[in-house]
Amino acid sequence: MKQVVQNYKSGELALLDVPVPGCKPGGVLVRSAYSLISTGTELMKVSEAGMSMLGKARSRPDQVAKVVQSVATNGVPATYRKVMGKLDSYTPLGYSLCGVVEEVGAGIDDVKVGDLVACAGNEHALHAELNWVPKNLYVPVPDGLAPRHAAFGTVGSIALQGVRRGEPQLGEVALVIGLGLIGQLVVQLLAASGVRVVGADPDPARCELAGRLGAAACGDPGSAAVESAVAELTGGLGVDQVYLAAGGGSNQPVELAARLSRDRGRVVDIGKCRLDLPWNAYYEKELDVRFSRSYGPGRYDPEYELEGRDYPIGYVRWTERRNLACFLDLVARGRVDVEPLVSRVADFDDAVETYRSLEDGGLKAVAVLFRYAARTGETKAPAVTVPAVKPRGGGASAPARGAGKPVRLAFVGAGNYATSMLLPHLAQRDGVELSTVVTTTALSAANAQHKFGFARATTDLDAVLGDESVDAVFVVTRHSSHAELTRRALLAGKTVFVEKPLALTEDELAGVLAAVEESGNDRIQVGFNRRFAPLLREAKERFGARTGPASVRYLVNAGRLDHGSWYLRQGTEGSRFTGEGGHFIDTVSWLLEADPVSVYALATPGDEDLQVVLRYPDGSTATISYVTTGAAGFPKETLDLVADGKVLRLDDFVRASVHSRKRWVSSRLPRARDKGQSAELAAFVKAVRTGGPMPVPLRSLVATTAATLAVRTGLAGGAPVTLAGAR
């Protein structure tokens, strides 16, 4: 197997072939999926290795003291041979990774082969294809948490232990000095704890990032901005805690900490900066200086780390293993977001070049991940199954409403999208009665009832599902609840309109289809409205039938989300593309009149910009560029379809054109962008009223959902994903 190593004497970095470690009792053998470069600790070690012998001695006076003691005990020749032998040997790098359990050692019963685990330790979670990890240095990864995010576990635990040492309380103000990887995580953990945070770092980009992740203010530690922010937030009293997450030889951090702390404030050292404490400043305020030792109690204790002897929770609440599990849980629940910290994902084969680029400044990064190739010999391409649609009762149609009887609709959820894009089109529509609105809070239900004229407002979902007079249920809640609410409504015999996405996982999609099969009720519409947009429909008609394969380019200039948006809670609500990407896949599939058969996805660092390539049965291809880094003033959606010597172009639902022998351009600019919601709702209400087929076949809705989910699979595996069962 391959492992990243360094010769501390020469500074040489290498990707070395080494034997596979054995799986000893008390631990597991883990095949790495992603490992994280600590751009602070590891680069400091790499930099030290490149120094002269005198430089090494100056940087590690603790080791020099050991050498002096050895000389006194063993003499100069023996000490020289010992030191040179240790220096002139390979040492490992890395201590934070996520991987798959390959083999389970004796005495291990909490994980099994194939489980995903996050691992810690500078002797056990190395940049290597395989690692043996003892029990107290790994934890299972929560369901739904991406492996690349779980690879942050150890570094996150270091930040978490530092925050615990500061004992933050609700309403306090903290100063974080140094906004590198650890500092950025400390900012988020403090913000999640109800603490207002001021950040200090000379790098404007890191200050901007910390601001997006929850800091109330940030600035250069040498500027007046930081002091002004502290004075404003504390009324001039000073911060309650200071977290030293900086490195280097400057004494500025500890001096700034003393100046901006309140009387009897707490100063926590997490990084490795110079600590020449100015005695008068620290004495006069009686500052409490604390050190945070790595990722929690148990660190450096061989009985805990190697022998697996846990500390009783009643005596030690947060051990390093419990810290590791806690941090992963915070990420999975969306309380901490590590994705914006990822500056680059590099292939493990490029490890040496990546370290060199970091060291010489060519790559400026907060966090860098190594991505490991799939196991040698595995040739099977990843696949996502498109479930077959098997309604037991053949529910292509339903009984028509009686003449003159209104279609009675219930809404589950009344958030921004429901109240701005759906209900205004339904409230005044003839033949429609808004029966009941269901929300989790009484006031939001009352507001929707007052504004749109619902007959009833309630927080009781069961009352709506059991109401035989309700013809259709609109599910317009957060993404994580769509599949379950749809399943329950189908089993209750209701026609369902569910906003995208239909499901966040393959299991959720299978659950919806199981309800279809059990009930015989396949009357579902997912809110893919763009295929109903009048301008796009006219352009498709003008383009005419195709005879050959098409090429489609769809640019979605999505823009950045505000900090705190629930869309960012990937652990519970899915990725942003999982939530929104179905719109664009459905639009392309409708234009091409087919469902995709494979998906290939690539992303820039941090998954900020996605390229999703779809392949269709007739050889047509479509590239959806879903980007968040574009200019806010540029149109959100532009689409080009090229085939048979013709080009269809859509400019953000404002103008469309078709270029062929004769050129057609839409005649005038509309007063507003019509993305099809009104026409979609009209088609849905008609299907409910007449009992006719749903506006979009369920088979197409399922295929689009499966293709959207395949994007996540493709990003994780780095290979095209076959949509098994697609037609």
- Per-residue pLDDT of 114-165, as tens digits, reads 899 999 999 999 999 999 999 999 999 998 889 999 999 999 999 999 999 9
pLDDT per residue as tens digits for the range 688-722 = 999 999 999 999 999 999 999 999 888 877 778 88
Whether residue 385 is predicted with pLDDT greater than 80 in this model: the reply is: no
Whether residue 74 is predicted with pLDDT greater than 80 in this model: the reply is: no
**What average pLDDT does the segment 399-407 reach?**
73
Residue 57 pLDDT? 45
Query: How large a percentage of the chain has pLDDT more than 70?
Result: 87
Burial 632-664 (b: 16+ CB within 10 A, else e): eeebebbbebebeebbbbbebbebbebeeeeeb
Whether residue 651 is predicted with pLDDT greater than 70 in this model: the reply is: yes
| Model confidence band, residue 49 (pLDDT cutoffs 50, 70, 90) | very low
Q: What is the mean pLDDT of the chain?
A: 88
**Max CA pair span of the chain:** 106
The least confident of 430-444, 535-549, 711-725 is 711-725
Whether residue 86 is predicted with pLDDT greater than 60 in this model: the reply is: no
pTM assigned to the model: 0.57
Residue 265 pLDDT? 97
Q: Residue 178 and residue 181: Cα distance in Å, rounded?
A: 9
Place of tokens 């890395």: 94
| Model confidence band, residue 346 (pLDDT cutoffs 50, 70, 90) | very high
Phi, psi of 637 (to 5 degrees): -130, 125
Report the amino acid identity of residue 365: A
**What average pLDDT does the segment 619-632 reach?**
93
- How many residues are given for the chain? 727
Cα angle 484, 485, 491 (rounded to 5 degrees) comes to: 90
Residue 384 pLDDT? 77
Place of tokens 């996050």: 118
Report the amino acid identity of residue 198: V
pLDDT per residue as tens digits for the range 481-521 = 999 999 999 999 999 999 999 999 899 999 999 999 999 99
| Model confidence band, residue 350 (pLDDT cutoffs 50, 70, 90) | very high
Phi, psi of 20 (to 5 degrees): -70, 130
Other beta carbons within 10 Å of 166: 26
Whether residue 565 is predicted with pLDDT greater than 70 in this model: the reply is: no
**What average pLDDT does the segment 314-339 reach?**
94
Phi, psi of 103 (to 5 degrees): -155, 145
Residue 571 pLDDT? 54
The least confident of 17-31, 139-153, 388-402 is 388-402
Contact present, 442 and 542 (Cβ < 8 Å): no
Q: Higher confidence at residue 423 or residue 562?
A: 423
Q: Residue 565 and residue 4: Cα distance in Å, rounded?
A: 39
**What average pLDDT does the segment 443-464 reach?**
89
| Model confidence band, residue 63 (pLDDT cutoffs 50, 70, 90) | low
Report the amino acid identity of residue 460: D
